[in-house]
Every structure is written in structure tokens, then in C-alpha cells.
Structure 1
Amino acid sequence: MSSGRADLDVVAEALAVLPPPQHGWTDELYDLYDRFRREPEPALPPEHRQRFEQQRKRERLSSAAHEALWSLMKRVEGAALGAAAIRAEAAELAERCVRARFVAQDAVSLLHALGRPVGEEVLLRLVRDPSVDEYDRAWAREWLIRMRRPDYEARARESLEGEEPLLPEAVRELPVSPHGGGVEWPEDADRVRRVLEVLLPAERLARPEPPADWHRDDEGEEVDYSERPEWCDVDLVRRSVMPHPSLVTRERMAELRRECELLGLDVAAEGFTERWVTRIRAWLAGAALDRVGRCFDGPKVVPWAMDLAQRYVERDAAAEDAVTMLIFMNDVSYSREALTRLAADASLQLEVRSRIEDALR
């Protein structure tokens, strides 16, 4: 049984007798179920007893299947599940598990370990199938993106010849960081000023862009993948394909949209490039404002930084970052004056104004 046949049989047998998942759970039902598991013969209505017996059977089968899938994954990682037919059978069983909402995370992990082509093919089917549970689709997509990331990074290293850049030259010419290929912000305050000037939108944005650090909550903790909006997965791919502003081209934006469609993300073709370029510009401006607030002495940035920060807030672009910069430099009179003017602007978002008013108290 060294081929993994015993583990495959455990999963197959569990799927053959698996009761359907129970829906409509309430806090009251969960409390009753806890009693059912603790007490030999609790008094229960017949419909509850059937539900709880099926749920307990799923849990027992899940325990055995979890161990079997974990064993299979270790065999794959150790190159001990080499036969193509066995690998194909493992992938087929893993797909059935996900569709049955049965040890789905273990099944996705096995598919990721199986890799290309068999694991990837199944993951691509799962992420595009709306009948698959939304939580499980999100989990499958996260691991599929990890599997395909080397392709994204390889694309980022390809020549830009013949491609149409979508960001201003002053931004494209920013130094490349040796860590991840993003922006290495310069020590030259005038250069950062030029970046802020060219990224400032001509008019107020129709809607504010989400923060660049979407993957962390207000306390700085990682946001659970299942709670992320879909555009966050678009950005996961985008960061690998276009880590630096010089790589943001019309051609690569079109490729990004097609890749996201392949990943089962809802990305309408109309306005996709424009929306994402606006978002990237806002995020870059936010990073530049953060750089100004944290890394430059007042004499190097007064008064132009305060003036630009105020205009960013008024145009709803990187507004939170601009306010943060002004508050951080609140010991400079120009910052306090800018904050005072903004506090009186009734057109600003309520959350932004409230934060400014708190800082001025």
C-alpha cells in the first residue's frame, strides 16, 4: 500500500456514505448539538435527532478523511505518489470533497501539492464554478494564485518594448527596490514632490479608493482571506505581474483582466484598466505622502507638502494618507492651517472630517 492506495480508499469510502451538509444552523441548534454529543440520550425532537446524527457522522468521517488527505499530501511532497493514474485519482477525489463541502481545505491543499497539470486543472474548475461554496472557492483561489505566481513573476521580468505605459514618467523612473521589485523611495525630497504633483488628479475622484494595505485591519492584523472583497485577489495578482510603476502598461492590464477572469473573479472588461490605474495612482501617492511625513525634515517640505496634502484630501485621493501626514507634522504651522481649512470643508467624507477635528482638539 506504499502507493497511497489505502489513503485513497479511505477518502472514497467516506464520500460514498457521507450524509449531506446540514444547513440552517442557529445558536440554539448548536447548543442542542453540544448536549447531544455530551449526553447519551438527550430528549430531542425527531427532526433534530436526525440532523445531529448526520452531523456527527460527517465529523467522524471528516477526521478519517483529514488524516488520509494529509498523508497523501506528504506523499506528493516526498515524490512518493508518482504514478499518473494515482495522482489523477487523488485529484478527482479532492475535487469531490470540495464540492461536497467535506474537508475542503485539506482537499485544496492536496490539489496545490499535486501541482500542474492535474491539480491546477481541478482548481481552475472549482474557482469558476458558482455552485461551489463561496468560502471554499476563495480558499481554492488563494492557493491557485500561489501556484501560478512564478508565471506572474516571470512576466514582470519580460521586456517592456512595444508596450504603452499608463503612469507618468516621473513615477516610472522611481528606483526599483531590490526587495520584491517595488518602489525604492528616493531620499530626494524634490523628486518625491514631483511624484505627488504628477499623481494628483485634476478633479475629485468619483469614489475614494480602498487603502493599499487592505490585507491588514485597523490593529495591523492580517485579514482572513474569506472576508476580503474580490478586488483584493485582483491586487494579489497585480502586485506580482506589475510590482513597479514602470510595468503598468495597457498590455499588462489586459493580461491581468484575462487572468482574473480565469481565476473566477468578476472583472468587467469595461473600465477595468481605468479603474485600476486610478487605484494604483492613489496608492503610490499615499506611499509618497507617508514618505514625506516620516522621512523629511520640515524645512525640506514646507510649505509645498502641506499644500499638496490638502489638495489630495479635497480630491478624495489618498485622503487618509494625506491627513496622516498633516497630523504627523502637526508641529508645523502650515500643517495646522491646512487641517483647520479642511475641518471647515463640509464636502469631505464624514470619517475624514471627524479624524481631522479630533486631531485639532
Structure 2
Amino acid sequence: MPGRRDPGAGVSTAPSRIAVVGASAAGLSVVEGLRRSGYTGSVTLIGEEQHFPYDRPPLSKQLLSGAWDTDRLHLRGQDDIASLGLELRLGSTAVALDTRTREVALADGSLVGYDALVVATGTRARRLPGTESVRGVHVLRTLEDALALRDDLAARPHLAVVGGGFVGAEAAAVARGLGCEVTLVTDTAQPMGDALGDELGALLCTVHREHGVRIETGVLVDQVLTHGGRASGVRLADGRTLTADAVLIGIGARPNTEWLTGSGVPVGNGVQCDATLYAGSGVWAAGDVACWPDARTGEPRRIEHRTNAAEQGLAVARNILAGPERATAFDSVPYVWSDQYDLKIQIYGRTRGADEVRIVEGGTAERKLVALYGRNGRTCAAVGINMVRALRGYRAQVAAAAPLLSGSAA
């Protein structure tokens, strides 16, 4: 059960062997945090992909557009990684965990022992059933995913985007910039409407349509249509069909926790941790896969944002060295950004569940604004569009859950 401490865990003796499963932004942050804190014990970093840790947000932006090459994605150079003194196990998939013997089993049959373990395995993209082997159907989570989609976009296909979240909206904008015809289908009232709300979502919808994106809102996709083994369109839940030469599925992600089955580590919507990101039995979690209680509401939270991954990695490193009984609760202000056309959208805090939105600077007509989101009269988030500097001033208000400022009601 998350929150239950191991007997005798009050002794703050640093573990001699630490294993981190997930060569991700969160995993890298853990190992760097350990070394910066002076930890000299054994550290093993295990990654399913063959790549050194890389940044994922540019996959749907700069890499997909061709503005960046793959080298620019790397979070650290090879010399920097080497200086950490790790046992690096890239291209190695963790398939099981035994918390009694404290060993991670890898797909090649080898075992990695540990005294403290960090699960930083992130998430994988959700797919529509039956689309795994269909040519021209894409998801966008890994470097290979982005390169495959970029290759398809080079032929200027008609791209159908299923899902109007961050990935779908950003990829639609990039595809239009490359000269592709684009149709975006979302079950929400507006693209990114669940994150931005009605008024700002409507602004984003208008901008996409001005750039030539066809948008179908409030409808689900039932099936990807095929011809000759390749995507030929999508069928909507209302019976309509839309033709396309390629399909991007951006309908969210699932935490990578299957390998923990039978280990005793509590899982549900990710690895279920206590407030310090400890899951019991010497196991911690960081990044997209970690689910922990909100410091203010106690509700479970799991955040799939790049900055959260880095912050949690550092927090876990500190807490491992402190020991479970002396660990401190993790609390931060989530931050995420999105670049679409000439819009820079930034979000501090959590907009979902807000019951009030107020624009306090600028306005939708200028496409330059700051909006505050409130829940029960308290500020829970701040959103900026093309107002980078001004938005920063509201971060403290979000962090303090301060009373919602007055302004023009959205």
C-alpha cells in the first residue's frame, strides 16, 4: 500500500546499488541528481530504446517539421553520460520485478540487482484496435514514431489526425506547414478544449481553420479504413467516412507498468506512490508513470509533462539518499507548453476541473492574453498565449492557490 514504510527504514544509510528502469528524462534526472548529491555507489540505468536519453516534446514540433535533426534531441552528450559512471543498459527491456530478492529481470534473461529501484518507464501511445500493422497509421511517442510520420508527410498526403490534444493539434499544425491536407477529428467541442476551456479552445479552433485544417468536433472515430493494407481514411461514430492517405492516432497514452505484475508494487493509473513518490519495498517512481496524491486535495495525480519528469527525478534522488522515513513530499506547479503556428501556449498548474476562467491581461481578439483558471474561488492554473513574460508573474498565485483575481469573465 502506498505510504506504508518498510520496517527499520528510519536508518538513513544510502543504498549501495541503485537501479533506474527507464532511460528517459525522468531516469536521467534521477541519476544526475544522485551524482550531484555526492552519491558514489553503483547506478544502473536501463533503457528499452537503443538511444541515449532524449527530449520528447520536439518530436511533434521541431523534429517532425524537419527543423531539427535527431542529434538535437539528446539531453546529454556521450561524454556527459560517461562522466556519470553508470552501468548503462540500453536496448534492454525490463520484463519482471522481484521485490523479495530485489532483482529486475531483463528480456535477455539477465538479472539486475538493486537496493533501491526507480521506475521511470513512462507511457506508450494508445492505439485504435487492429491498426498496429497497417501501413500509413502512426502514433507519436518515440523517436522512431516521429521519423516514420515525417517520412510519410514528405509525400504531402492527406493526413487524418484522430485526437485533438497536444500531440494531435501540434502535428496538425506541422503537417499544414509542410503543405499537407489535414483533417482533425476530436470528441471534444474544441481542439485542446479539455485543457483550455471553451473560449480559448474556440480561439485555437479558429486559428487551425484559418490555416486550412478541416476540424470535426464532438465525434469519435470508430475505425481506420484500409485499402491494400494501407490506411485509406477513417469511419466516424456517426457513420460518416473521411478519406485520408495517412492517419495519426493521438488519443492519449498508457503507463508502462505491465512488467510489474506480480511484484507487489501497487499499480493502477501508473505506479501508485505516497506523497514522497515512494511505492514501498525499496521502489520509487518518477515521471509519466508515477501516480501520487495531490498535496492540496489528496486526489491521485499522474502528469505527462516534460518539466514534471525532470523535477520528480531530482526529488526521488534526494529522497532515496534521505531514506523513506526522512523523505519529503513532492509538490510543484506543473508546466507545459505548445507551439502551433504563431501561437505559443503555456500552462502553469492544472486547468482540468476548473469552474471559472477569467482573462486578466490581453484578449482573444489580439490572440495575446493571460487567463486564470479557478476552482472553488481559488486559482488552480494560469494560461498564456503569446505572453511569455507576463505569464511568469502568475506562477506564484497558482502555487499558493490564491483567491482568483478579478478580470473579464470568460
Higher-RCO chain (CA-CA 8 Å, sequence separation at least 6)? 2
TM-score by length of 2: 0.23
Structure with the higher fraction of residues in helix conformation: 1
Identify the structure with the greater strand proportion. Answer: 2
TM-score under structure 1 length normalisation: 0.25
Q: Greater Rg, structure 1 or structure 2?
A: 1
